Amino acid sequence: MQRKLCSCGFWQKSGVPCPNACKCILQKAENIDDFVHKMQTISQYRDTYGQGMNALPKEFTWMSHVYVVLLLPPRANATIVEDTPYRIPHTK
């Protein structure tokens, strides 16, 4: 439990104990909050979003058109030698 690992991998990926790990933590009479990654805590959430978020500008101020730059493939070599054999001729 102290290594914060579970067989399903949810705990390692999300930083939050999976339901099976929570059951084990509760059976040991420990606090689940002690096993959550610090980035997933309410205090960290408040620190991150406490200043508020800026709203997006109104849609009418968005760009009405976007310039698309066309990137073409390189030109193919126009002179293809027809005499070049593509296969080795079969000899008996």
Q: d(Cα 1, Cα 24) in Å, to the nearest integer?
A: 8
What's the pLDDT score for residue 75?
Answer: 80
pLDDT band at residue 40 under the 50/70/90 scheme:
confident
Number of H helices, E strands in the chain: 3, 0
What's the pLDDT score for residue 4?
Answer: 77
The overall pTM is greater than 0.75: no
Q: Which residues fall within 8 angstroms of residue 16, CB to CB, at 6 or more apart?
A: 10, 36, 37, 40
